[in-house]
Amino acid sequence: MSEEYYRELEKKYVYGTWRYENTWNPVVVDRADGCHFTSLSGKRYLDLSSQLMCSNIGHRSQAVIDAIAEQAEKLCYAAPGFATVPAALLGQKLAEITPEGLTKSFLTNGGAEANEAAIKIARLYTGKTKLISRYRSYHGASSGAIALTGDPRTQHAIGMPGVVRAPDCYCYRCPFGKEYPGCGVTCAEYVDEIIRMEGPGTVAGVVVEPIVGSNGILVPPDPYVPRLREICDDHGVLLIDDEVMAGFGRTGRMFCIEHWGVEPDIMSMAKGITGALFPVGATITSQEIADHFDQPGNLFSHGQTYAMHPLGCAAALAAIQEYEDKGLVENAARMGKVLEKRLRGLAESHKSVGDVRGKGLFWGIELVRDRETKEPFVTRKQKFEPNTLKRVSAAAMEMGVYVVNIINTLIVAPPLIATEKEIDEGIEVLDKALEVSDKEAG
């Protein structure tokens, strides 16, 4: 059957995600390998965004495929009331590779579920209910996770109560109208003010992506994350680190928060934990939190049917081994310097590029109509509408390069196996695609 046949079949029988169903006209992906994927009609595309910033180890990792197959021959599933070898080994491995002090994990199916676990753990441990997140953030689509989220995708969501949002560390468009370093990192100090005004006795935790992902690749100034740690410590509030997108080598460190030498109380992760070859997430906590739930009467009141799934745990163990054996974190740091240089070159030659920011292989290109006024092409309200960013991505796709556009930012985040040649191939196409936005710029 043709690509058109399967496209129409899926449109008829399968709901999509975050889209107007009647406008969807997708490529039908048939196979993928390395940094490329191929449509059913045979067209090959360079994946410059790792699908949804998750295919970190490349497509079709044979080591992970073999690990899944080997585990499937022995045990495909066990109820979470049982222990399994893959779950035990994965828990041990996560304690080894995460920042010092994090020791015990809840193993789940993805990022939203990992953040749901973080919410419940924080509330159970502290006995407090409020959580502080930020206006530009994404933590998942389930009830608690979408309540934490500050994003246009919350417009139709009815999430849990108890979330208070803080302004962002968005230096290009500072919500306080200041500039770093003269700002005194007001965005962090404002979190301190929020906790004081809400009452430290009511706030369980502060939830942050150390580098904001799908809301614009917002890189904080260096004092920001350490200051948040100090503020949380001052008020007896947990620091909850969402590494779902920025973790597993994406920024040139195994976990993004390591850039600032900060240890969170709780960390959530997913995406890169298996390189997206199997849906797995995890929520790891400090030993102090683990000790709390070891005390008689302190029920760990959370669970899922597919928690600690043996196939997923086996996939994660194999993927983590791939990061280590192939030096993928180091390659992300090394190729990140190449990518940064190329992207800054695009900024010099395209008037519609307002800002370029990122770390490792995790970069955003913010497009503007006018560099002086910083007028965006796309506002948050226009995220789901036809817009300039979508036209730029469509032009790149037509030329064989897939790049994600979210609100007013193109997200350039190739798999961590990317070579300089592949980065140059992607930038060459982006150079041409940006002519679309240049023509619409003032």
Contact 277, 69 (CB under 8 A): no
Reported residue count of the chain is 442
Among the listed residues 36, 24, 96, the one whose alpha carbon sits nearest the alpha carbon of residue 60: 36
Per the DSSP assignment, residues forming a β-bridge with 366 are: 355, 409
Please give the structure tokens belonging to residue 442. 């003032």
Please give the structure tokens belonging to residue 135. 């206006």
Cα–Cα distance for residue pair 320/274, rounded to 1 Å: 7
Please give the structure tokens belonging to residue 371. 């560099």
Which residue bears the tokens 């973080």?
Answer: 118
pLDDT of the residue at 30? 97
Long-range Cβ contact pairs of 372-381 (< 8 A, separation 24 or more): 374/172, 374/173, 375/442, 376/408, 377/352, 377/408, 377/437, 377/440, 378/407, 378/408, 379/407, 379/408, 380/151, 380/152, 380/407, 381/152
pLDDT of the residue at 154? 79
In the sheet that 44-47 helps form, which strands lie side by side, from edge to edge?
29-33, 36-39, 44-47, 401-402
Please give the structure tokens belonging to residue 178. 């200041």
Q: What sections of 62-130 are H helices per DSSP?
A: 62-74, 85-97, 111-126
Please give the structure tokens belonging to residue 373. 């006024």
Domains, the chain, ordered by start: 3-57+327-440 (3.90.1150.10), 62-325 (3.40.640.10)
Residues contacting residue 422 through CB under 8 Å, at least 6 positions apart: 35, 46, 414
Query: Alpha carbon of 223 to those of 101, 170, 230, 290: distances in Å?
Result: 21, 14, 11, 29
The per-residue pLDDT string of the chain (442 residues; one tens digit each, 9 = 90 and over) reads: 899 999 999 999 999 888 888 888 899 999 999 999 999 999 999 999 999 999 999 999 999 999 999 999 999 999 999 999 999 999 999 999 999 999 999 999 999 999 999 999 999 999 999 999 999 999 999 999 999 998 888 777 777 899 999 999 999 999 999 999 999 999 999 999 999 999 999 999 999 999 999 999 999 999 999 999 999 999 999 999 999 999 999 999 999 999 999 999 999 999 999 999 999 999 999 999 999 999 999 999 999 999 999 999 999 999 999 999 999 999 999 999 999 999 999 999 999 999 999 999 999 999 999 999 999 999 888 888 889 999 999 999 999 999 999 999 999 999 999 999 999 999 999 999 999 999 999 7
The number of helix segments (H) and strand segments (E) in the chain equals: 14, 16
Q: DSSP secondary-structure letter at 178?
A: -
Longest Cα–Cα distance of the chain, Å, equals 66
| 261 CB burial (10 A radius; 0-12, 13-18, 19+) | exposed
Residues contacting residue 348 through CB under 8 Å, at least 6 positions apart: none
Please give the structure tokens belonging to residue 63. 């080591």
Cα–Cα distance for residue pair 60/65, rounded to 1 Å: 7
* Stretch (H or E) spanning 198: helix 186-198
Please give the structure tokens belonging to residue 109. 């199916």
Q: How many C-beta atoms lie closer than 10 Å to residue 341's C-beta?
A: 11
> pTM (2 decimals)?
0.96
